[in-house]
C-alpha cells in the first residue's frame, strides 16, 4: 500500500468524525470538528489495537504469566515507538509517560532543572507559550519572556536574533530555554534547532513543548544540519495526536533523567523496600513511572505513531500546508474577518487559525457556528492569555478596553478572545469551505444573530430559544443501558 493510499484510509477512519448533531433549523447533520488543537479524535485502527490488547490485558507489574509478559513488552514497545517517532537515538535518549498530557512533564522538568542548577536561576520562555509551559517555570525560576516578532494582530513567531540578544545578556545565568514547537493560538512554528544551538552556547538546555507540533510537522531530537543543536527535552500530549486517553510523553537525554531524583514514590520505581529504607530503581523509565502506568493509553499512542510513521510526517505536513494556505487566503478576502498571527508566507504555521468577526464577540461566533452550521470551534484565550491579548491590544484599545486589566468583568472577557479553527488529519477541504461559507453567513446575518442570542458566563453565548437536550446527545447512563441490552 502506498503512503497516499494509507493516508486516505486513515483520514476516513476517525471515531466520531461524522457524529450527527442537531442544528437550529430543526435539521441535523454530521459535525465538522475543527477543535483539534484542544484535543484530537481517536484514530480507529489504533483503537482496534487497544481493544485487541484488552483481550490480553494485565498489569506490567506482574511478571511471569503470559498476559503480563505481553503487556510489559507492549508497554516497552510504546516507549520505543515514541523515541523512533521523534528521531531519538535510543543510546542517548529515554522516554517516560506521565499524567494525562504534557502539563505533568513541564511541572516535573521545571522543578528538577531548577533544583539541579540553582546557580542558573533564569529561564527564557517565549511569550507565545501555553500556560502549561510558562507557569511551572515561573514557580521555580526567574522567567524572562522572549517577545515574538512583529506586533498587533500579526504578532508571532520567534526571531532568532531576539533570542540571541537575550542569551548574550543573561549568559550562563540561563538554566534552560522553554519554547513551543508550534503555537496553540496561531500555529506559528519555532526554529527549535537554531534555538537549541544558541542555548548550548552558554550551557543552557532547550525544552520544547511539542504538543501542537507533534501531529502536524516532522519532529526530530537531532539536527541534521546544525552542530550542537539537538533538543534536550521534548514533551507532548498523546491526546493531541489521535490517542485520547493516552498519557503525556517526555523525551529527554538519558543523562538528564538519570540525574533526577524520582519525585513520585510508590510501586514500580523501587528495587527493594525494608521498614527502615528503600532502594530506588536505576532503570529508566521505571524510576519516573511510579504506580501502575496508563498501559492502555500508551499502547494506543504507540499504534498511532506507527501509523503516522508509515504515512510519513512530511506527507502529512504537505497536505496541511495546502489547507492552511487556502484557508488563510480565503478568510483574508472576506470583509469583516480579522485574522491573527503572522501570514503563513512569513512564518510557517501549522493548521491552527484564530479569527474574529467584526461586531461579534468570540463566544457569539463560536456558538453561532455550532448552532447553525454544526461547526465545532473553540473560543477564548486558549490558555495563552498574554499572547492573545498582545495580538488583540489595538482592537481592544479602540473599544476603550485595557487588554491587560486584571480581574476584568465578564463583559470585557467577552471581548478579550478569539475563535479558533484547528485542523487534524481528518480535516478536508470541504470542512474549511463549509467554515468559510458559514462565516459569510454569520456576517450577512449579524443583526439577526445578535437579536437571538444572550451572553452567558464570562465568554459564552446562548441562543434565546434553541437549547437541545444535551443528555440526548450523550449520556453515560443511557450509553450504559444500551451496552447492557447489547450484552443481553
Ligand atoms: C501548546 C500546548 N502546550 C501544552 C498544553 C497542555 O497540554 P495538556 O493539557 O494535555 O497537559 C497544550 C494544551 O492545550 C498546548 O496546546
Min mean pLDDT across 86-90, 243-247, 311-315, 393-397 is at 393-397
For residue 488, pLDDT beyond 80: no
Q: Does residue 94 share a domain with residue 32?
A: no
For the segment 118-144, the average pLDDT, to the nearest whole number, is 98
Given 258, 281, 310, the domain boundary residue is 310
Q: Whose CA is nearest to atom 14 of ligand 1?
A: 38
Which three three-digit cell numbers place residue 220? 526530530
Query: For residue 251, how far is its CA from the centre of ligand 1 (angstroms)?
Result: 16
Contact 344, 352 (CB under 8 A): no
Dist. CA 212 → ligand 1 center (Å): 8
Q: How far apart are the first and last CA of the chain?
A: 40
Specify whether 97 is located in the same domain as 167: yes
Q: Is residue 333 located within the same domain as residue 274?
A: no
Q: How far are the Cα atoms of 41, 43, 288, 392 from residue 244, in angstroms, in the given order?
A: 7, 9, 22, 32
pLDDT for residue 210: 98
Question: What does the block give as the cell for 136?
Answer: 511551572
For range 176-200, the mean pLDDT: 98
CA of 181 to the centre of ligand 1 (A): 12
Quick one: which atom of ligand 1 is closest to the CA of 37?
16
pLDDT per position as a tens digit, 74-84:
999 999 999 99
Residues 76-129 have pLDDT tens digits of 999 999 999 999 999 999 999 999 999 999 999 999 999 999 999 999 999 999
* Position 340 in a domain: yes
The answer on pLDDT for 487 being more than 90 is no
Q: Which of 262, 290, 310 is the last residue of a domain?
A: 310
Q: How many angstroms is it from 348 CA to the middle of ligand 1?
A: 20
Pocket test for ligand 1, best of 105, 132, 245, 349 (most atoms within 8 A of CB): 132
pLDDT, position 166: 98
- Do 97 and 18 fall into the same domain? no
Range of the domain at 100: 48-310
Give the CATH number for residue 247: 3.40.640.10
Q: What pLDDT shows up at residue 300?
A: 98
Neighbour tally for 415: CB within 10 Å: 18
100 occurs within a structural domain: yes
Q: Is there a single domain that holds both residue 425 and residue 446?
A: yes
Instruction: Work out whether strand 93-98 and strand 20-22 pair parallel, antiparallel, or are unpaired.
Output: unpaired
Whole-number percent of the chain with pLDDT over 70: 100
User: Region 359-364: what's the mean pLDDT?
Assistant: 97
Same domain? 81 vs 184: yes
Nearest in space to 45 (alpha carbons), one of 88, 76, 87, 1 = 1
- Region 153-166: mean pLDDT is 98
Q: Which is the closest atom of ligand 1 to the Cα of 212?
A: 1
Query: CA 446 → CA 75, 336, 343, 371, distances in Å?
Result: 53, 11, 27, 15
- The secondary structure element, H or E, covering residue 108 is helix 103-116
Are 24 and 77 contained in the same domain? Answer: no
Ligand 1 atom at minimal distance to the Cα of residue 102 = 11
Counting atoms of ligand 1 from 1, which one is nearest the CA of 39? Answer: 14
With 80 as the cut, is the pLDDT of residue 293 above it?
yes
Give the per-residue pLDDT at 404.
85
| Last residue of one domain, picked from the residues 284, 310, 336 | 310
Number of domains within the chain: 2
CATH number at residue 456: 3.90.1150.10
> Is 257 a member of any domain?
yes
CA of residue 237 to ligand 1 center, whole Å? 7
Pocket test for ligand 1, best of 35, 211, 349 (most atoms within 8 A of CB): 211
How far does residue 211's CA lie from ligand 1's centre (Å)? 6
User: Which pLDDT tens digit goes with each residue over 13-34?
Assistant: 999 999 999 999 889 999 999 9
In a domain? residue 481: no
> Quick one: which H or E segment has residue 143?
strand 142-146
Query: pLDDT digit string (tens) for 58-71?
Result: 999 898 999 999 99
Counting residues of the chain whose pLDDT is more than 90, the rounded percentage is: 91
**159 and 294 both lie in a single domain:** yes
Q: Are residues 101 and 233 in the same domain?
A: yes
The predicted structure's pLDDT at residue 411: 83
285 & 376 share domain: no
Task: Look at 25 and 229; give whichever has higher pLDDT.
Answer: 229
At 218 the pLDDT is 98
Quick one: 253 and 106 in the same domain? yes
Written as nine digits, the cell of 208 is: 520544547
pLDDT of amino acid 402: 87
Longest dimension (CA), the chain: 74
Which residues, including other chains, have CB under 8 Å from residue 356's CB and lie 6 or more apart? Answer: 337, 338, 340, 362, 365, 395, 418, 419
445 in a structural domain: yes
In a shared domain, residues 409 and 297: no
What pLDDT score does 79 carry?
98
What separation in Å is there between the alpha carbon of 103 and the centre of ligand 1?
Answer: 7
Cα 442 → chain centroid = 29
- Read off the pLDDT of residues 392-437 as tens digits, 9 standing for 90 and up: 999 999 888 888 888 778 788 899 999 999 999 999 999 999 999 9
> Under a CB-based contact definition with an 8 Å cutoff, are residues 39 and 211 in contact?
no
Domain assignment present for residue 27? The answer is yes
CA of 280 from ligand 1 middle (Å) equals: 30
| Residue 189 covered by a domain | yes
- pLDDT number for residue 88: 98
Q: Output the residue whose Cα is nearest ligand 1's atom 9.
A: 101
Ligand 1 environment, Cβ below 6 A: 101-103, 130, 132-133, 180, 184, 209, 211-212, 237, 239, 248, 383
In a domain, 305, yes or no: yes
Amino acid at each position: 500500500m502506498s503512503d497516499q493510499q494509507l493516508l486516505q484510509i486513515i483520514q476516513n477512519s476517525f471515531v466520531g468524525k461524522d457524529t450527527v448533531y442537531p442544528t437550529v433549523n430543526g435539521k441535523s447533520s454530521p459535525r465538522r470538528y475543527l477543535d483539534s488543537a484542544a484535543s484530537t479524535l481517536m484514530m480507529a485502527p489504533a483503537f482496534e489495537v487497544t481493544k485487541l490488547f484488552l483481550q490480553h490485558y494485565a498489569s506490567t507489574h506482574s511478571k511471569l504469566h503470559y498476559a503480563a509478559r505481553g503487556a510489559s513488552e507492549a508497554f516497552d514497545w510504546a516507549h520505543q515507538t515514541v523515541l523512533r517517532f521523534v528521531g531519538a537515538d535510543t543510546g542517548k535518549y529515554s522516554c517516560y509517560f506521565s499524567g494525562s498530557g504534557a502539563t505533568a512533564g513541564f511541572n516535573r522538568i521545571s522543578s528538577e532543572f531548577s533544583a539541579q542548577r540553582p546557580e542558573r536561576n533564569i529561564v527564557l520562555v517565549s511569550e507565545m507559550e501555553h500556560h502549561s509551559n510558562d507557569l511551572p517555570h515561573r514557580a521555580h525560576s526567574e522567567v524572562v519572556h522572549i517577545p515574538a516578532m512583529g506586533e498587533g494582530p500579526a504578532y508571532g513567531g520567534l526571531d532568532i536574533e531576539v533570542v540571541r540578544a537575550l542569551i548574550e545578556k543573561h549568559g550562563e545565568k540561563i538554566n534552560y530555554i522553554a519554547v513551543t514547537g508550534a503555537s496553540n493560538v496561531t500555529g506559528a512554528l519555532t526554529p527549535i534547532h537554531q534555538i537549541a544551538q544558541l542555548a548550548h552556547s552558554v550551557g543552557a538546555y532547550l525544552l520544547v513543548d511539542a504538543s501542537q507540533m507533534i501531529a502536524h510537522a516532522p519532529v526530530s531530537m537531532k539536527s541534521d544540519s546544525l552542530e550542537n543543536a539537538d533538543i534536550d527535552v521534548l514533551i507532548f500530549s498523546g491526546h493531541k495526536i489521535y490517542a485520547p486517553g493516552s498519557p503525556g510523553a517526555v523525551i529527554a537525554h538519558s543523562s538528564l533523567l538519570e540525574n533526577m531524583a524520582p519525585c513520585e514514590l510508590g510501586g514500580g520505581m523501587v528495587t527493594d523496600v525494608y521498614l527502615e529504607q528503600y532502594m530506588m530503581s536505576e532503570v529508566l523509565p521505571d524510576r519516573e513511572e511510579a504506580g501502575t502506568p496508563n498501559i492502555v493509553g500508551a499502547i494506543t499512542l504507540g499504534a498511532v505513531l506507527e501509523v503516522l510513521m508509515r504515512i510519513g510526517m512530511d506527507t502529512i505536513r504537505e497536505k496541511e500546508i495546502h489547507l492552511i494556505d487556502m484557508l488563510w487566503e480565503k478568510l483574508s478576502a472576506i470583509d469583516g474577518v480579522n485574522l491573527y498571527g503572522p501570514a503563513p508566507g512569513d512564518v510557517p504555521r501549522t493548521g491552527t487559525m484564530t479569527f474574529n468577526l467584526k461586531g461579534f464577540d468570540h463566544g457569539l461566533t463560536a456558538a453561532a457556528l455550532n448552532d447553525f452550521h454544526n461547526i465545532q470551534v473553540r473560543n477564548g484565550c486558549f490558555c495563552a492569555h498574554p499572547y492573545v491579548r498582545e495580538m488583540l491590544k489595538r482592537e481592544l484599545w479602540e473599544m476603550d478596553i485595557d487588554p491587560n486589566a486584571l480581574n476584568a468583568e465578564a463583559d470585557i472577557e467577552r471581548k478579550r478572545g478569539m475563535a479558533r479553527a484547528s485542523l487534524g488529519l481528518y480535516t478536508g477541504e470541504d470542512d474549511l469551505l463549509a467554515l468559510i461559507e458559514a462565516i459569510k453567513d454569520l456576517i450577512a446575518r449579524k443583526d439577526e444573530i445578535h437579536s437571538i442570542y444572550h451572553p452567558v458566563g464570562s465568554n459564552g453565548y446562548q441562543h434565546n430559544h434553541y437549547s437541545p437536550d444535551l443528555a440526548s446527545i450523550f449520556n453515560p447512563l443511557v450509553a450504559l443501558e444500551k451496552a447492557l441490552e447489547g450484552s443481553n
